[in-house]
Structures are given as structure tokens and as C-alpha cells.
């Protein structure tokens, strides 16, 4: 071998210099997809696309009642008929004044629909949006915002029923400044709807058996939660029931119902309900952020 050939061979690198950089870059990409910063950017990026999810949420309602004369107000009519039927029946069975019991059942049903939709529709939020997730380059949280926005629109339509009862039964005589507590109560309600949709949506996408389990659980919670019945009515009808009715405190949905219903009906709002809801909200959001950090990048492969 000549001297020139020896020098040429010596000058050639034994390994490509770009190989370690490529490996480090790949490791950086993988680690960045499972960081809290990436999860938080998904939330902020999704909120920044509010024109998209606001439009999609409204289109969901319009599509559901397409070609109908009353359109979305069928939501109000259906809830009003259900509340009236239950109020008339159970006020007679439990021997309760209709003027007190009908608003109680109506507000309970309106709030319960938000809770039930958060659990049932939240568990299918990513499965139902499979096409958009795979084709539309948007944050995963866009679908959560869309779902919660749609629930808020349903709630707003049903609030018309409360307005009618407000004048029909002169509810203003029972209300005081504490009615303003309904504002933070609703904020907590929809904040919890968000984390419930995130957590159940991610895990129900990975494990499809979770959806039917949550549907059955929601039905059970509806029976256990005092939506159609009151603890006061049971205490007056059954001797010694006061201690047993306290078992309802272990049902978490009861506390969400009370922080919204009590201010709207002029009833005292117990501090323990707010504390329990606040603790659940903090824990729930911690789990939701952790789930987004760990699994958000895998959802498109699971749907």
C-alpha cells in the first residue's frame, strides 16, 4: 500500500459521525412525548383551537335534531316531560308538596344529565372521534373541550325549565345571596366533567370493556343518588331512617348534586359538600394530567 493510500485510509472515519446524533435525537423525541410539559401544551394548544371545538360542539347538536321544527329545544321538552312525570309521581308516593318537590326533581335531573354524560360519553370521546384523531392534526384535548362544550349547551337548554319553575312556583321568595354560589358550583361541575372525560376516555380506548362497565355504574349511581328522592322524605316516612340516610354521603355524585341544587332552591349549602368536591377535583385532575403525560401519544394507535 502506498503512502497516499495509507493517508487516505487513516483520514476516513471509522463510524459515521451522525449516528450518535440520530440516536440522541430519537431518544429526545420519545422522552418529550411523555413529559408534563408536552401534556400541558396539549391542553393550551387545544384551548387555542377554540373556534374548531366550539363549532364542532354546536354542529353536534344541530346534526342530532336536523330537519326538526323545534330543533335543539327538543332537549328542553324531553327533560321537562321527564321531570314533570317524576315530580307528580314521587310527590304523591312520598307525600311531598308539589311546589317543593317538582323543582327539586327538575334541578336534580338537569345536573344529573351533565354527570351521566361526562361518564358515558366521556368514555367514548376518543373512540367516537377516531377519524378526526387520525386525519386532523390537532391537540387531543380538542375532543375533550368539544364534549364539555356540548354538555354545557345541553345544560343551557335545560336551564329554561328552571326559569319556568322559578316564576311558576315563585322560587324567588326562597332565594338569597347564596344563590351566587351556583356560579362556582357550575365551574366545578364542568371542571370535573373534563377530567372524568380525559381519564375514562383514555382507559376506555385502551380497554374496551370499561365502557359497558361505566354504563352499568352510571345506572347504579342514579339509583343511589337522591335525584328523585330526598333524605328528608325518607326520614319522615320511615322511623329511625335518619342514621341510615347518612349512607348517601359515601356516594360522590350526591355532593356534586348538592352544591348546584341547594343554591338554586334556596336551601343551605353545607360546607362538607364543597370540601369533598374540591378534594375530588384536585385528585381527579392530577390523575388526568398524569394520564395525558403517559398515554396521550398512544391514543391514535388505540382508536
In DSSP notation, the chain reads: --HHHHHHHHHS-SS-THHHHHHHHHHHHHHHTTSHHHHHHHHHHHHHTHHHHHHHHHHHHHHHTTT-SSTTHHHHHHHHHHHHHHHHHHHHHTT--HHHHHHHHHHHHHHHHHHHHHHHTGGGHHHHTHHHHHHS---THHHHHHHHHHHHHHHHHHHHHHHHHHHHTTGGGT--GGGGGHHHHHHHHHHHHHHHHHHHHHHHHH-TTHHHHHHHHHHHHHHHSSSS--HHHHHHHSTT-HHHHGGGGG-HHHHHHHHHHHHHHT----HHHHHHHHHHHHHHHHHHHHHHHHHTTTHHHH-
pLDDT at 121: 93
User: Are 83 and 105 in contact, with CB atoms under 8 Å apart?
Assistant: yes
pLDDT at 136: 79
pLDDT at 240: 52
If pLDDT is split at 50, 70 and 90, which confidence band does 61 have? confident
Residue 155: all three cell numbers together: 345544560
pLDDT in tens, 238-291: 555 556 667 788 999 999 999 999 999 988 888 999 999 999 999 999 999 999
pLDDT at 32: 63
**Does the pLDDT of residue 34 top 80, yes or no?**
no
pLDDT at 222: 93
pLDDT at 137: 78
pLDDT at 36: 86
Tell which residue, 87, 115, 89, has the closest CA to residue 103.
87
Q: pTM for this structure?
A: 0.83
If pLDDT is split at 50, 70 and 90, which confidence band does 105 have? very high
Cα distance between residue 228 and residue 76, in whole Å = 18
**Does the pLDDT of residue 71 top 60, yes or no?**
yes
pLDDT at 19: 42
Residue 101: all three cell numbers together: 318537590
Mean pLDDT of the chain: 84
Cα distance between residue 173 and residue 181, in whole Å = 17
pLDDT at 21: 42
Residue with grid cell 360546607, as numbered in its chain:
271
pLDDT at 183: 95
Task: Choose the weakest-confidence range: 21-35, 71-85, 149-163, 175-189.
Answer: 21-35
Task: Choose the weakest-confidence range: 104-113, 125-134, 196-205.
Answer: 125-134
pLDDT at 108: 93
Residue 250 CB partners (closer than 8 Å, separation 6+): none
The angle formed by the CA atoms of residues 204, 141 and 112, to the nearest 5 degrees, is: 60
Q: Pick 297 or 28 by higher pLDDT.
A: 297
Residue 237: all three cell numbers together: 316516612
**Does the pLDDT of residue 75 top 90, yes or no?**
no
Amino acid at each position: 500500500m502506498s503512502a497516499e493510500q495509507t493517508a487516505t485510509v487513516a483520514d476516513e472515519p471509522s463510524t459515521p459521525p451522525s449516528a450518535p446524533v440520530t440516536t440522541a435525537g430519537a431518544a429526545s423525541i420519545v422522552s418529550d412525548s411523555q413529559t408534563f410539559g408536552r401534556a400541558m401544551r396539549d391542553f393550551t394548544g387545544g384551548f387555542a383551537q377554540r373556534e374548531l371545538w366550539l363549532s364542532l360542539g354546536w354542529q353536534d347538536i344541530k346534526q342530532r335534531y336536523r330537519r326538526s321544527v323545534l330543533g335543539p329545544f327538543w332537549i328542553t321538552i324531553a327533560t321537562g316531560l321527564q321531570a314533570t312525570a317524576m315530580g307528580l309521581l314521587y310527590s304523591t308516593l312520598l307525600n311531598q308538596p308539589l311546589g317543593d318537590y317538582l323543582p327539586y326533581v327538575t334541578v336534580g335531573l338537569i345536573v344529573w344529565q351533565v354527570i351521566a354524560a361526562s361518564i358515558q360519553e366521556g368514555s367514548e370521546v376518543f373512540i367516537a372521534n377516531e377519524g378526526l384523531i387520525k386525519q386532523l392534526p390537532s391537540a387531543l384535548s380538542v375532543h375533550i373541550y368539544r364534549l364539555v362544550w356540548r354538555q354545557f349547551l345541553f345544560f343551557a337548554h335545560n336551564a329554561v325549565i328552571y326559569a319556568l319553575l322559578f316564576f311558576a312556583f315563585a322560587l324567588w321568595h326562597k332565594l338569597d345571596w347564596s344563590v351566587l354560589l351556583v356560579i362556582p358550583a357550575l365551574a366545578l361541575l364542568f371542571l370535573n366533567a373534563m377530567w372524568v372525560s380525559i381519564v375514562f376516555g383514555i382507559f376506555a380506548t385502551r380497554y374496551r370493556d370499561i365502557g359497558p362497565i361505566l354504563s352499568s355504574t352510571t345506572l347504579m349511581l342514579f339509583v343511589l343518588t337522591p335525584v328523585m328522592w330526598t333524605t328528608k322524605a325518607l326520614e319522615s316516612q320511615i322511623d329511625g331512617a335518619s342514621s341510615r340516610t347518612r349512607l348517601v354521603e359515601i356516594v360522590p355524585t350526591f355532593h356534586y348534586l348538592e352544591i348546584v341544587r341547594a343554591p338554586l332552591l334556596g336551601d343551605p349549602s353545607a360546607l362538607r359538600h364543597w370540601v369533598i368536591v374540591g378534594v375530588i377535583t384536585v385528585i381527579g385532575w392530577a390523575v388526568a394530567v398524569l394520564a395525558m403525560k403517559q398515554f396521550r401519544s398512544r391514543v391514535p394507535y388505540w382508536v
